[in-house]
Chains A and B, each alone.
Chain A
């Protein structure tokens, strides 16, 4: 029984590290290869030993697909390709290919810097991994091999994020990665064909949420920043290098311009240039507004946002600083935080989730006395704010996408079990589509009924055409022929050709029926009577009287014989091939009615 199998190694009922194995028509694909930011040991990577059990990864997997550059979707990639040893192709979009190594490098540096981890992937490994990447364009059908093809669709979420359709023959799976169904300040909304896949694997981060309007959150954010700056405070916004940071920059830049504000805005570690470079390079991936205004002014060339220097942190007066990393766990953002934490006029705005153990997590959970190195206690007096700007589809958006794609089944990943359960019911009830939510390591198996392509021989087609019946796409037609299954493909040919190809001799199958006729005359005369009768009845058919006395109508042979016991009765032997079954039966019934009285 053909089937599609899906096993999440990560993102199965959690939002940790996305890594989903899909087997479709004998092809194995890994969707995303993410890392869990909450762990510092091997658990941060998906447990690949479940695949390595069945031999080398390169032999097992046909390809890896990365949906976007966030580390929980691509962070384990260098580990997977260079340390576990996957040698095959890795597919991602062009922007993801460009930005992914920057984030990986950033993460590596923090890991090595902060924790002094020795057993971590190196820069060289990131580079070698990136060399295995094949970049794809949106809507471009990419042939991974003769049978497997993939196609990327726009997903919103972050620059370069894509959904992927994976197709083998007539079977297909769509994986959404993370997506956003409403446009934001710099990106558009997700879009995909009504491709009716066997399965749609969708994220479900906000499975139970209908999010409030983005405008409200933006207003709130700007108000808070503005107030802090007005009272002479310093605002720290810890961010990851690329992604949400750009959206917040556009937001502040526009606001500063409109309000004619003078307080400086800084962006740390030279990332502005890099981000600008990529946003300019991939301008086609941003939303329509940015693309339109690009000709007059590049939205990513900021007037008010300048590069940050370490010395600026001590400058008097208000300022806003975007600094990395985003969870206040190391480097520059933590350094600035330490300096500013003691002053209640200052503010830190956390625009995203923080894992346990980080300073970001502690202050968000309301801890105000933090123990730092050397038993120093840092008292946090500054204002702490949390504002989520992550761009995921909410429950409405997810339902909308399912409706748009029209899959046979839906599989939920990247969400929490309880919320998934709710969405699952909603999908099953409202859309009448079966829905699955496997946990990590759990395999979901979906039976499929694949259509099997059959080649038709030209001869057969020509013969059909010769009968004057032109092919019509709307009307299915019955076509007779012999099905040859050879070398794992199927062909429909004429029986003659089949015999020839297979070197077989033809056997003829004939049916014979006896019809008793009361006729005392000689057999030859009876036959002659039959002949004249049929000739008069069957005007459209070729009726012949053969020299040996037998009569033929098309392939049907009629012979008259004497009855062994009753001389007044003759036996008509009617014999026909199975092709003339209809005519044969008709003739038999006709003859059974008897012959017309001969003119005496």
Chain B
């Protein structure tokens, strides 16, 4: 602890111990605790207490019964815990009605158990539970008693404590513990309904995952199998998923777990099957009537179970340990069927099917879950006729006027994923003929969606278009279909959308279309001779006039990308382009636009001077504009576009990221200077002095005066004289590091004492 803080501490402790001095802000106490934690982690707590007797006095004082605020009491208890984690008030705490306190008490219990089992210097206690330290035996006894209890909260607490124990401790004694408690846990399964099912699942999975336990010897697999069959399908899903994620686990158990997950979808397929015959998901003999009983009578239960099932399967699919063979085709069929039922296009023949149809019609929750699942299924392929159905149902959703904005967004995402997965030829990223056919149907739908009255829908449509163009913009089939549609023209119109989010997405989309040469609409017949307004001009207009930050930021990103890709509109007169953009960006009120301006400046700098060499010595650097000429000459273009004025101004920006970025850019430039052979000795000149003086004023906050035209020599001289490293160091510390310091905290807490009035709770 530094001396300043040591000096402040006694006064603060006195305030805390005084019940007449209210401590308004408990965030302060939290932060104080954080600070003590860091101190005790770094050094000896004993020394800390010896050096600061006021702390011990505070803790002793708090123990006396008095009218102390609960905040200070809880703070002191936790502080005591930090100093010596040996509190035995856990039993009292565990029964607290607060989730937070109960959970903290549980954690404390586990810590004590684990600490006591670590044992004294003469070695850990033996593996016989009877030899365990009294403290550990007491805790285990408490857990056993709780497990035998009939009160669900007590059982839950005990299970949670055990879950934490097996999650954190993997020493051999945990196996002894499990063997001892296992019968009590198994006995819970005999009850109907199974109490604290969630916590039980957590515990069993925690035990199964624990490297300290050999699962086969403890009867764990049997318990898991038993639990799977005892829990209701709604509760069993999570356990099934957990089992399937386990690394080594008997095949039969895995099969049982997978069946639990598949069951609800099998029921759906069975209920909606057009004719007799197996649905392919599970053989019909095992079609579970329990599941059907949950699915059919109540909408809430049906929706809940289906959403959970879909989410679990979605999580399972990308895992390497997922079941093999994976029933891709029936799962695809189930997802499509569910979407059809929700969308109203399913026409099941059976009674159960019709009942499902009534329950699910228009259900947005199932739609969302099924679309997400369908999207994930695109990682694998399926039989062509099913894939056709997938595209058909997606199109149905994209077309449907009933689709909510969220559902539409998900439908767009799923469509993109399926389009991505559609190529049959390995290594070829082009869209195949089926996908192109689909695209011809899709584009009119997209067109319609771009005109939606909902901004969410227009925006999702534009995001989808950008994704597609980025991926297939170079492909003839896609280009042809897109150019034949109204989509590019509509996108251009959305640059003037009333919603700023949409304008921003339209900017990104147009930038992408333009990069791929896809936004050259034919001259309009109404104005055959009319000047086609260039996209560049339009985007510059947005950059300088749009009242919202998002579109301006999007423009800067497009411009940076264009410069990087040597876009046709840029290469014509790169310097004019860069100068114009930097001038506008430099005046922007949004620091992210200014920071993006520096990004663009960096690209230009690298293109002019060559890429930085230091990054990767093995990288193949393309031979672009390597400065063969003296550096001063190479700097000419940078001076012409006024890049330095922009960068120097940014260096003293009141927004830290801008200053940081500018600092990095100038340091990079200086590194280049150093490596350049054409280094000339700096000469001080009146120009240099005036620039330095101007920079001093800028630094002081007065940025009114411009620098004017700078000569490369002057720039080099100024760069050499600046302490950029020092500045970078200062900027690297977050601007509130002073305010966050412990000293500032103690000062603030002391300063607040006595001035608390009505204002303390006046949050907003």
Contact = CB atoms under 8 A, between A and B. Distances in A.
Given A127-B501, A270-B547, A442 B655 contact: no
Interface of A: 7, 14-16, 26, 36, 38-40, 43, 47, 50, 53-56, 58-59, 70, 72, 87-89, 105, 109, 112-116, 123, 127, 130-132, 145-147, 178, 205-206, 209, 243-244, 269-270, 273-274, 310-311, 313-314, 329-332, 334-335, 338-339, 352-353, 355-359, 361-362, 365-367, 371-374, 386, 388, 390, 392, 414-417, 419, 438-443, 487-488
Given A50-B99, A109-B592, A356-B25, A361 B748 contact: yes
29 contacts: A38-B25, A40-B740, A47-B100, A70-B764, A87-B368, A114-B736, A115-B736, A123-B550, A131-B409, A244-B764, A310-B703, A311-B704, A314-B704, A334-B654, A353-B761, A353-B762, A353-B763, A357-B31, A357-B744, A358-B739, A361-B748, A390-B762, A390-B764, A414-B763, A441-B98, A441-B99, A442-B99, A443-B97, A443-B99
B30 A487 contact: no
Nearest to A114: B735
B18 to A, nearest CB: 16
Nearest to A132: B406
Given A112-B657, A113-B591, A274 B734 contact: no
Contact of A56 (B98, B308, B657, B740): B308
Interface string B733-763: 1111111100011011101100100111111
Contact of A357 (B365, B736, B763): B736
Contacts of B103: 50, 441
Contacts of A7: 99
A39 B30 contact: yes
Interface in B588-642: 589-592
B751 A357 contact: no
Interface string B106-145: 0000000000000000000000000000000000000000
A313 B701 contact: yes
Contact of B365 (A36, A54, A88, A355): A88
Contacts of B740: 40, 357
A362 B749 CA distance: 10
Closest 6 CB pairs of A and B: A441-B100, A38-B27, A365-B751, A441-B99, A442-B98, A441-B98
B736 A487 contact: no
Nearest to A339: B701
Interface stretch (B299-307, B330-338, B570-578): B299-307
Given A131-B406, A331-B654, A366-B751, A357 B745 contact: yes
A105 B764 contact: no
Nearest to B296: A487
Contacts of A87: 368, 406
Contacts of A352: 762, 764
Contacts of A330: 735-736
Interface string B431-460: 000000000000000000000000010011
A40 B740 CA distance: 10
B494 to A, nearest CB: 15
From B409, B590, B655, residue with most partner A Cβ within 10 Å: B655
A243 B764 contact: yes
Contacts of B762: 205, 352-353, 388, 390, 392
Contact of A365 (B409, B547, B755): B755
Contacts of A14: 26
Given A132-B406, A390-B762, A442-B98, A269 B589 contact: yes
B522 to A, nearest CB: 33
Contact of B30 (A43, A56, A127): A43
Given A7-B99, A416-B761, A442-B97, A365 B735 contact: no
Contacts of A15: 761, 763
Nearest to B101: A441
A359 B299 CA distance: 55
Contacts of A36: 27
B549 interface: yes
Contacts of B759: 353, 386, 388
A311 B27 contact: no
A356 B409 CA distance: 41
A468 to B, nearest CB: 39
A542 to B, nearest CB: 47
Contacts of A366: 751, 755
Contacts of B744: 357, 362, 371
A556 B761 CA distance: 79
Contacts of B308: 55-56, 59
B764 A72 contact: yes
A21 to B, nearest CB: 10
Nearest to A158: B764
B27 to A, nearest CB: 3
A487 B294 CA distance: 11
B70 interface: yes
A365 B701 contact: no
B751 A355 contact: no
A171 to B, nearest CB: 15
B67 to A, nearest CB: 11
Nearest to B457: A131
B761 A365 contact: no
A127 B368 CA distance: 18
Contacts of A313: 701
Nearest to B550: A123
Nearest to B100: A441
Nearest to A204: B761
A147 B748 contact: no
B95 to A, nearest CB: 13
B311 interface: yes
Given A131-B459, A132-B406, A441-B99, A419 B748 contact: no
Contacts of B730: 373-374
A7 B736 CA distance: 34
Contacts of A419: 761
A359 B744 CA distance: 10
B701 A205 contact: no
A439 B98 contact: yes
B28 interface: yes
Contacts of B749: 356
B728 interface: no
Nearest to B235: A55
Given A114-B735, A488-B298, A365 B459 contact: no
B322 interface: no
B198 interface: yes
B238 interface: yes
A469 to B, nearest CB: 36
A205 B763 contact: yes
Contact of B739 (A269, A359, A390): A359
